[in-house]
Structure 1
Amino acid sequence: MDVLAEVLSTTGFAGVLLTQLRCRGAEWGCAVESSGTAGFHLIAEGTCWLRYRDEPPRQLLPGDVVLLPQGAPHVLSGEPGYPGLPYADLERAHPVRDGVLELGGAGPLARIVCGKFEFDGDAAGHPVLGELPPLIRIPGMSADPELQAVIRLLAAECTQGRPGARAVAARLTEVLFVQVIRAWLAAADGATAQSWLTALRDPRIGAALSLIHEAPQRPWTVAGLAREVHMSRPAFAREFKTLVGDPPLTYLSRVRVGLAAKLLRETDRRVAEVGAAVGYTSEYTFSRAFTRERGIAPGRYRRGR
């Protein structure tokens, strides 16, 4: 079971291409407000500066990718200290044409591809996005040839005006997201907060995660999962909690509720049937678990979607 792919599919994860910024010179700045959803910037040509929180400005170079998993506010500008105007104000003053927003005056050109990722729920509670740091920068000179190939192809689709480019680019954004996660995991070290993402690299705990995602409806117990990965129950429970951040059955409940949410959104099966499909023996037990995880009863969740 490809756990990452399964989680993204369950949450309805999809890439959306938003705008291409075409900026000339140094006298321009775009302030992106907190969005509650994941966003990214790809520097397709030229350079710009990124200001984030109280950190020193970072210069972004051609091919750099910046991912903001929780949609944190930030500023892109032509020079480090140039003030950023809210994107909505810039859009009113400089109408977007064919997906392009022109900023600045004379001088070198910078092309910045901007996009976001749609999914069920909010970024902070998303099983992937909520586990990532608020900002990830992948340098354009990354040693990963596959990531570089995706970056080049996405930049070309967004800047060359070929038929079907936006449809192709939208799919490539999803590929780019997975490649960025892979690069982040490859660079992760002991200082990285533990989560199920980093636990995927552990042979035994990663195998247990795969078993849970492959068949969440099974009546799993801690002892049963431990046997499957050839560990003692105490050692497995301790290692799982350390690497994933949750006890095994707590994580199982999250997986079941996530799958149930997808079934509630995409099918007309009765609530009791959905609960049974993901492993709950009664509608009452399912409703309690769903409400505990999502803060809303399953029936109300479906009506709201």
Structure 2
Amino acid sequence: MDALADVLATTGFSGVLVAQLRSRGPGWGCALEQQNTAGFHLVAEGACWLRVEGRPPLQLVPGDVVLLPRGEPHSLVGAPEAAAVPYAELEAAHPPGREGVVDLGGLGPVVRVVCGKFSYEGDATRHPVLSALPAVIHVPGMSADAELQGIIRLLIAETTRTRPGARVVAARLTDVLFVQVIRAWLELTEADAETGAGSRQRSWLTALHDPRIGAALSLVHETPEAPWTVESLAREVAMSRPAFARQFRELVGAAPLAYVSRLRVDRAARLLRETDDPVGDIGEAVGYASEFTFSRAFSRELGIAPGRYRRAARARPAA
């Protein structure tokens, strides 16, 4: 079982384009407040700068991708010291129209930035993927592998043309873009750890590269409802119980059974959102012996009872 794909599917993760920023010259600036979702920027033409508090300005050139997993406040500007206007004000002054382009005008070389976000269930700070990532991920287009460069070129092309279905195609490409950026970050993290240029960040994402712990994660994602114990997982990957428990915690950042519990609850949350199955049946399907033990585990993980979670989830679209 592909653990990354499973988590993204379980949390209903999907991408959507928000707008394109287009400007000319260095005097423009767009400020974005803290977002409640992950977002990204792809530089399609020209060059600009990304400003994030506590970090030096970062120059972005065509093909560069920036991912902000937890929606950090930031600014996109034409020059490092340029003033930034809140996006809402820019959008009101320059309505995007049918093509979704916020054209800021100006004189000079064209700068075009494709902006998007990702929707999913839950808080980014608790999302299994997003919470494991740094606040800002920058993937230079020139250093991206062939697959990522291909996705970048396709996304730029689809946001430039006016062919039927272009926005739908572009939105689907954002899903692929996200996975490719994560792969690029994982490879960079692995290379830095091997050369001593950086420390290995502990998360289940980086643990996927470990032959034994990665295999254990795949087993758990394939059958989270199985009666897993630390002993049975250790036996499956040919490790002693103490060594497995220690290495799992070191690499994943959580104890094995705590990870299993969170995965079961995430799987149950998806079933509560997408099916009409009784709460007790859902609890049994994800591995709990009784509705009481399921409700207790669900409330402990998400801070809300299963029934209330279902009602709240179904009320959101209507609201």
Question: Shorter chain as normaliser: what TM range?
Answer: over 0.9
Question: Which amino acid is 2:179 matched to?
Answer: V
Segments of structure 1 that go 5 or more residues without pairing to the other structure are: none
> 5 Å matches for 1:247-262?
247-262=255-270
Say if 2:168 is the partner of 1:167: yes
Question: Which amino acid is 1:200 matched to?
Answer: L
| TM-score relative to the length of structure 2 | 0.94
Instruction: Work out the CA distance in 2 between the residues paired with 1:110 and 1:146.
Output: 24
Shift of 1:54: 2.4
The 3-state SS of whatever aligns with 1:281 is coil
Say if 2:36 is the partner of 1:36: yes
Q: In the alignment, which residue of structure 2 is the partner of 1:215?
A: 223
> 5 Å matches for 1:31-70?
31-70=31-70
> 5 Å matches for 1:141-152?
141-152=142-153
Instruction: Work out the CA distance in 1 between the residues paired with 2:179 and 2:307.
Output: 33
Segments of structure 2 that go 5 or more residues without pairing to the other structure are: 194-198, 314-319
Number of residue-to-residue matches in the alignment:
305
Contact 1:48 1:77 in 2 (8 A): yes
Structure 1 runs of 4+ aligned residues shifted over 2 Å read: none
| TM-score relative to the length of structure 1 | 0.99
Q: In the alignment, which residue of structure 1 is the partner of 2:135?
A: 134
Contact 1:46 1:110 in 2 (8 A): yes
Shift of 1:278: 0.1
The 3-state SS of whatever aligns with 1:80 is coil
Question: Which amino acid is 1:185 matched to?
Answer: L
For each residue in 1:84-135, what CA deviation from the matched residue of structure 2 results, as whole angstroms up to 9, or x when unmatched?
Answer: 1111111111111120000141111011000000000111110000110000
> 5 Å matches for 1:48-197?
48-97=48-97, 98-188=99-189, 189-190=192-193, 191-197=199-205
> 5 Å matches for 1:198-237?
198-237=206-245
Instruction: Work out the CA distance in 2 between the residues paired with 1:295 and 1:143.
Output: 40
The 3-state SS of whatever aligns with 1:75 is strand
Instruction: Work out the CA distance in 1 between the residues paired with 2:210 and 2:58.
Output: 33
Contact 2:20 2:114 in 1 (8 A): yes
Shift of 1:161: 1.8
RMSD: 0.8
Instruction: Work out the CA distance in 2 between the residues paired with 1:42 and 1:77.
Output: 14
Instruction: Work out the CA distance in 2 between the residues paired with 1:143 and 1:80.
Output: 25
Question: Which amino acid is 1:96 matched to?
Answer: P
